[in-house]
Every structure is written in C-alpha cells, then in structure tokens.
C-alpha cells in the first residue's frame, strides 16, 4: 500500500463525481420534460420509434398502469431471450457451432439478464453464439438498465409532484433512456474501448500456430459493443468467462479506468438527479459525500489486505508480496482494488480479479456492499434503495422525536411504511433462506469449489449477488446445476421485482398527497446530521441481519489465517 | 393486452437496433478505423499468424520468456482463474509447485527475488504481461539456452518495459509475446514480424 496508490483510487472516484454531477442535471432535464441539447437529433428518432411500437407519448400513467407495462415488457423480453438461447444452434451467426443452451441454464440466464444481474452460470466463449451475445445479452443489457432507470424516474416524479396520480409514461421513459443516455454514451465508450484494443469482429475464433509450435484457438467476437453497455448499464455479464480480467475485455490500465467510470457514471449521476427533482442540491451533496466515503473505505480495505499478501504463503514458502492469485498484472493493485469495491457498490458485477481468491477481509467488502445494496447501487434501483432507506430513517427519526414523519413535504404513513418494510425485508430473506437451504442439501454443498468456511462464503456470495442483482461471483462455486440454476434464477427475480413493485406503489401514494409547507419543526432530510442517521440505519440493519453469516464466512476465515 | 402487443413490437424494434445495428455498425467501423485492434491484436511471422499480443500462450522451452502460471493452461477458448481461496491447502500446493519449477529452471534464483505474480495464477489464465522483476529473473536461463547475451536481453526488456499510466495506474511490466517475438527476430534475421488482421 503506497501513498500514490491511495491517491490513484481517490482520483478516479473524484472524476466520477465530477462527471456525475452535470450528467445528473442532464438526466433530470430529460425526464422532467425540459428542453435539452439532444432534442434536435433525438426527438424525430423517438417519434419514429413511438409509431413503430404504437405508443402515444402524451398519455401519462398511474402507478398501476406504469407497473403493468413494465412487468409485461420485461416478461416478453425475457421469453424472447430464452427462445434465442434455446434456438441458437439453428440460428445464424454461430461460427463456432455452439449447441443450444439447456433449459435450466437458459432460464437462469434469461432471468439473470432481464433483472440486470448478469449472473453467469455459463462460460461466454463456449456457451453462446454471436447472435445470442448480440440480440440476447447485449439487447437485455440495454433494456434491463433502462427499466431500472425508468422506475427511478417514476418514483422521483411521485415524490416531487402533488395531488396527481400521473407518474409519466413507461414506454416514453424506456425509449428515452436509450436515445438520450444509453446508446450515445455506450457508443462513445465502445469507440474508445475499440481504439484501446478491445476486439469487435464477427470473424469467429482465430486459430494460430504459436511461436513454441503448438496450436491455440483464440475466442473473440463483437466484444467492444457488449463491454460498453455491460459497464454502462451496471450489468457486468462478460463476453468471456474471465470477464474483465480477460485481456480482450480489459486490455490495459486506461480501459480499466474507463470501465470503472462506465459503471459508476449513472448511479452517481442519479443521486444528483434526485437532488434536482427534489429541489435540494444539499441532498445530493450529502448522499454523494457519505456514499463516496463508504466506497473509498471499501476500496482501501481491499487494497490494504491484498497488498499485504497471503500470510500462509509467506509462512509456508517464504514468498512475500501482494496477493496476485486471480489478478492481472496490467491493472496494478490500486485499480484492481477499486474495481472490486466499485463493481459491487454500483452492483455491476463485472470482475477484473477473481473474487474467490481475494483475502478474506477484502472478499467481505464486495459481500457487504451487496448486502447494503445502496452504496450508489445499480442503475435506477440503487437510487430506489437509497430512497427506501431514507423513508425508513425518516420514520425512525420521527418516532424518536415524536413527530409525524415526512420526507420532502410528503407525510409518511402506515401504507408507505408497510411497503418500504416489505421492500427492505425481501433482500435479506432471499439471501439467508436459500443459503441455509443450500447448506442443508448435500448435492448443493458438493458445488463448493473450496473447502471449509471459504466454501460457505461462496454459497452466501452467490445468493447475495443474485438478490442484489449484482452478478459477480466467488466463481469456484459450480452454479450450473438444476438446484442453483433454479434457486438463483428465482432469487434474482424476487430481489428485483418485489422492491420495484413496492417502491412504485409508494410513489403512487406519495404523488396523490398534497405537499405540506416546511416549518421550523420539520425534520430536514438534506443535512449531514440526518445523513449520519441514514448511514447508521442501513449499517445497523445490515449488521443485525447479516452478521452471523459473515462471522461464519469471511470473518471466521480471517481468524484461520492466524 | 395492449401491453403485450406493444412489448412485442418494442422487443422486435430494439432487438434489431441494439442487438444488430449497434454491434454491426462498430464491426464495420472497426474494420475501417482500427482493423488491428478489432480483429484481436494479432501478430504474424512471415505472414503466418502466431498469436495475439494480448493473449498469453504457452512457452514451455527454456529459450522463451515464460508468462505467468495459467489455471486453464493458456486455453484462449476457455479463460479463467484457479478460484482457489486464500486458506485452501490446494492453493499452497499449487504455488509451491510453481515456485519449485521456477527455482529449478532458473538456477541461482533466490525465493526473495521471486515476485508473487510469477508463481500465482492470473485471473484470466491469459495474462500476457509479467512483472519487470519476473522478466529480469528469467534472463540468465534464456541467455544460456539461446546464446544471446544477458546485456542484450536486459536492453530488450528495458526497451519494451511499460510503466504505470500517469505514474499511478498499473505496474512496471513487460509483454511476453513482444519479448519472445524479438527473440525470434534476433535468432532468425530473415524473419518478418508484423501486425496482421
């Protein structure tokens, strides 16, 4: 651990905030219906798309209509992707002659990508044709990110409007996320990645005669375009099995910085978007400072433990130096550590080092971030989780000082609290219960790739990753079994949709309420004092819920190191 | 019902736009603007493709710079790491084997001169780069096997060495394929090494 390494990590996070702020304003203007500089190009394109899909953009929806459109569209897209995976053997663009995906795995994969999780029980280069990578994976990486962002915009409208049931039009939001944000930024990112060495080709694998006389089959494909949206959409599902550790996905330090920026950009920006919607720049600054500090703390923790290396190897073999098992040389430790923390803070799930081979305490950082699920969080849903915990924190503070809890002029009543509690509880429920079931089943235990406490952490990590819609893995676990394909698939679906449904219902009920004017007795949400309460609430909830499992996993393993 | 119909139309339009038009546009653009990168940074000797500059390949003979250990035996069609946890006895076993192999092949090398990256498997199994120290450690062995002078090999490593971007991001390192191509060129003066698409 060096001073320059600490500075290197800080600089990237600072750059993220510096880019996120203006982008957050732009996202606000786009979804609040104000004019933006992209109108000239985007408006005619959008008009054509609305005609093609049969949408009247002037109609606004109440929360139920918004939710229905979202659920049906997601179901149709998931079924479409499932069909593509099942039929890839007979469809075009399959130069490597990859067979059809088996049903359980195809279910898991479709559920994984429609929920923005990108958990991968398959190895990309061996299990997916180019067509599947393009109209299955790349397509869902866009639309699932857009769905999350649309839900967040609907919620912010509900919070900022009054005495109305209108939350916007789901189809308009879905289309505009693509035309105004995802496609243009993904195109820029894809171009830069391509220039820096990420391949983009349909030529099929390259078979080469190596210098030492053997043969090597080099898998490649349309990687740059997938990589761009994989990062930007906080998706994380890689083209190759090794994900961003693969030199074709992430060839050098520059691309690594770009990929970290790609995944952090929108979730950071959305905090500022919320600030604009709620007319509170201070809220954005408070949240950004506190969450940014937690992200940095996580990255530094990983950096510390990885730089110190593995004491078992030092003791047994006299080998001293950083833990390089499962890491690539070209990124260097600071960037690798930041990537580990950022990919779970932003619930992306891309990995540029194998998390299974991290030291126990550094492996706990991604686990914790996924358990919190709101250190900025994933595309749109991260902001929803932040707002959910803000509501809970407001309620608890209100109880403590004996006032009716309110948030941005909206009273929080029994209905909102019940829904927020449901959204909060589903997360630990779908992590802890399946983990316990898996540990009770001998066949599920047999999938563990490492013995002892580390093996337990692999299973815990899998369900945490699925519930948080993250997708990163302690990849030693063999998840491609009927049990894990189905259970992880279901956890991803529950983890995603239960909280979105609850939050949209809250948005609907908040939109209908009149705004109460602020008085001297109003609890101010956008202050650092309340920010600390907010952090304390989610940390305490997280600690109480998950601590026993963490003690059995990474903490126990750390103690074994001696 | 109207939602189902709209969803089908949306899926069709956006699957084509995002799944076909977007990648194909960049395939075409790549072919024109960055043909070498787009095809996977391939290199050829006398017109025959010998590998990718970004993908490690096996170099089992003592005359070559050896890349980092690979958990997938440099299978560029099935990347991956060992996924061994830090307390797994199999990890100690694996690293011990790698360490003994390195010390056996590079006589005179001491354990404290071995960087961890030299004996611990990479994340992708295809890491094309090695630590600078790793490269220097291998020079005496390569010199003995090829007859090339240690001074020349050292100057080669220095020529190809890459340093952290902005002095912050990355490690001092060197690309194994580049090094070995240079050795090949030196041993076969008539060979023509070139980037290929």
Note the pLDDT of residue A121: 93
Residues 132-161 of chain B with CB under 8 A from chain A are none
Record: contact A224-B18, CB cut-off 8 A: no
Q: According to the model, what pLDDT value does residue A404 have?
A: 81
* Distance set, CA A382 to CA A144, A275, A348, A370, A470 (Å): 13, 15, 11, 11, 11
Nearest CA distance, B107 vs chain A (angstrom): 17
Contacts of A59 in chain B (CB under 8 A): none
Q: B48: which strand partners?
A: B45
The Cα A342–Cα A209 span in angstroms is: 39
Chain A residues with CB inside 8 Å of B121's CB? 325-326
Two tokens at A228? 């761009």
Q: Within an 8 Å CB–CB cutoff, is residue B103 touching chain A?
A: no
Q: Please give the backbone phi and psi of residue B130, each rounded to the nearest 5 degrees, phi first.
A: -130, 150
Question: In the numeric block, which tokens belong to residue A517?
Answer: 């004017």
Residues of A in contact with B96 (CB under 8 A): 316-317
The answer to whether the complex's ipTM is over 0.95 is: yes
Q: What is the pLDDT of residue B4?
A: 96
Residue numbers in A near B78 (CB within 8 A): 123, 125-126, 219, 241
Of A365, A327, A145, nearest to A236 by C-alpha is A145
From A193, which residue of chain B is nearest by alpha-carbon distance?
B37
Q: Do A8 and B61 touch (CB under 8 A)?
A: no
Whether residue A218 and residue B52 make contact (CB cut-off 8 A), yes or no, is yes
User: Hey, of B59, B124, B178, which one would you mutate to test binding to chain A, going by the most A CBs within 10 A of its CB?
Assistant: B124
Is B20 at the interface with chain A, CB within 8 A?
A: yes
Mean pLDDT (chain B, rounded): 96
Mean pLDDT, consecutive 10-residue stretches, chain A (562 aa), reads: 95 97 97 93 96 95 97 98 96 93 96 95 90 95 97 96 95 97 97 98 95 95 96 94 96 97 96 96 96 98 97 96 97 97 95 97 96 93 95 91 87 94 94 97 94 95 96 93 96 96 96 90 88 95 91 95 80
Q: What is the pLDDT of residues A112-163, one digit of tens each?
A: 999 999 999 998 888 999 999 999 999 999 999 999 999 999 999 999 999 9
Using CB atoms, pick whichever of B34, B116, B173 lies closest to residue A330. Answer: B173
For residue A226, give how far its alpha carbon lies from the nearest alpha carbon of chain B (Å): 8
| pTM for the whole structure | 0.96
**Do B83 and A246 lie within an 8 Å CB cutoff?**
no
Interchain proximity A334–B168, CB inside 8 Å? yes
Helix (H) or strand (E) run with residue B42 in it: strand B42-45
d(CA A462, CA A349): 11
Q: Which residues of B touch A69 (CB under 8 A)?
A: 3, 6
Round to the nearest angstrom and report the end-to-end CA distance of chain A: 21
pLDDT digits (tens, 9 = 90+) for B63-98: 999 999 999 999 999 999 999 999 999 999 999 999
Q: Which residues of B touch A306 (CB under 8 A)?
A: none
Q: In this predicted structure, what is the pLDDT of residue A543?
A: 82
State pLDDT tens for residues B13-42.
999 999 999 999 999 999 999 999 999 999
Q: Measure B124 CA to nearest chain A CA, in Å.
A: 5
Of B128, B15, B81, B94, residue with least CA distance to A123: B81
With 0-12 CB in 10 A as exposed, 13-18 as middle and 19+ as buried, what is A157? buried
């Amino acid at each position: 651990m060096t001073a320059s390494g600490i500075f290197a990590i800080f600089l990237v996070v600072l750059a993220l905030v510096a880019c996120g702020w203006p982008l957050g304003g732009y996202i606000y203007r786009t979804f609040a219906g104000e004019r933006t500089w992209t109108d000239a190009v985007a408006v005619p394109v959008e008009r054509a798309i609305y005609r093609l899909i049969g949408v009247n953009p002037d109609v606004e929806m109440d929360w139920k209509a918004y939710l229905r459109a979202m659920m049906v569209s997601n179901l149709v897209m998931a079924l479409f992707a499932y069909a593509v995976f099942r039929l890839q053997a007979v469809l075009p663009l399959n130069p490597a002659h990859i067979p059809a995906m088996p049903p359980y795995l195809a279910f898991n994969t479709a559920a994984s990508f429609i929920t923005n999780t990108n958990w991968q029980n398959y190895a990309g280069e061996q299990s997916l044709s180019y067509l599947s990578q393009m109209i299955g994976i790349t397509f869902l990486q866009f639309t699932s990110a857009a769905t999350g962002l649309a839900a967040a915009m609907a919620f912010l409208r509900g919070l900022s409007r009054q005495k109305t049931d209108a939350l916007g039009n789901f189809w308009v939001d879905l289309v505009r996320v693509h035309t105004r944000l995802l496609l243009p930024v993904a195109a820029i990112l894809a171009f830069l990645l391509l220039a820096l060495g990420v391949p983009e080709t349909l030529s099929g694998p390259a078979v080469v005669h190596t210098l030492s006389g053997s043969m090597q089959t080099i898998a490649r494909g349309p990687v740059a375009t997938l990589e761009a949206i994989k990062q930007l959409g906080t998706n994380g599902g890689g083209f190759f099995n090794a994900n961003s550790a693969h030199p074709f996905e992430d060839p050098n330090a520059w691309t690594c910085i770009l990929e970290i920026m790609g995944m952090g950009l929108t979730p950071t920006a959305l905090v500022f978007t919320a600030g604009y919607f709620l007319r509170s720049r201070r809220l954005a600054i408070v949240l950004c400072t506190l969450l940014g500090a937690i992200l940095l703390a996580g990255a530094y923790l990983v950096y510390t433990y990885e730089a110190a290396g593995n004491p078992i190897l030092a003791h047994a073999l006299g080998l001293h130096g950083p833990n390089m098992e499962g890491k690539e040389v070209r990124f260097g430790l600071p960037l690798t550590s930041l990537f580990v923390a950022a990919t779970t803070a932003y619930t992306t799930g891309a990995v540029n080092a194998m998390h299974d081979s991290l030291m126990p305490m550094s492996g706990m950082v991604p686990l914790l971030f996924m358990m919190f699920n709101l250190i900025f969080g994933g595309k749109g849903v991260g902001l929803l989780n932040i707002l959910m915990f803000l509501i809970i924190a407001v309620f608890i503070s209100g109880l403590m000082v004996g006032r009716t809890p309110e948030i941005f002029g909206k009273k929080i009543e029994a209905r909102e609290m019940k829904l927020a509690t449901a959204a909060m509880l589903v997360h630990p429920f779908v992590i802890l219960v399946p983990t316990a079931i898996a540990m009770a089943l001998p066949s599920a235990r047999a999938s563990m790739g490492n013995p002892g406490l580390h093996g337990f952490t692999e299973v815990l990590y899998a369900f945490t990753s699925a519930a948080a819609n993250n997708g990163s893995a302690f990849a030693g676990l063999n998840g491609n079994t009927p049990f894990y394909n189905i259970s992880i698939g279901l956890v991803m679906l529950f983890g995603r949709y239960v909280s979105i449904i609850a939050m949209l219902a809250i948005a609907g009920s908040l939109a209908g309420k009149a705004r109460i004017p602020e008085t001297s007795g109003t609890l101010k949400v956008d202050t650092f004092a309340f920010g600390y309460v907010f952090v304390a609430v989610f940390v305490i909830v997280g600690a109480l819920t998950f601590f026993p499992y963490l003690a059995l996993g990474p903490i126990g393993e750390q103690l074994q190191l001696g | 019902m109207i939602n189902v119909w709209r969803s089908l139309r949306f899926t069709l339009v956006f699957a084509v736009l995002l799944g076909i038009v977007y990648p194909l546009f960049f395939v075409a653009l790549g072919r024109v603007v960055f043909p070498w990168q787009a095809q996977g940074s391939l290199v050829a000797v006398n017109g025959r493709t010998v590998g990718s500059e970004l993908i490690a390949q096996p170099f089992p003979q003592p005359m070559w710079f050896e890349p980092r250990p690979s958990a997938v035996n440099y299978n560029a069609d099935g990347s991956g790491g060992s996924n061994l946890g830090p307390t797994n006895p199999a990890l100690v076993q694996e690293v011990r084997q790698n360490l003994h192999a390195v010390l056996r092949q590079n006589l005179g090398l001491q354990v404290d001169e071995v960087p961890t990256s030299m004996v611990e498997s990479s994340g992708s199994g295809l890491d094309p780069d090695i630590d600078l120290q790793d490269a220097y450690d291998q020079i005496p062995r390569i010199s003995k096997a090829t007859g090339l002078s240690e001074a020349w090999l050292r100057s080669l490593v220095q020529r190809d060495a890459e340093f952290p971007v902005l002095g912050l991001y990355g490690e001092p390192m060197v690309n194994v394929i580049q090094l070995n191509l240079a050795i090949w060129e030196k041993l076969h003066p008539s060979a023509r090494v070139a980037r290929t698409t």
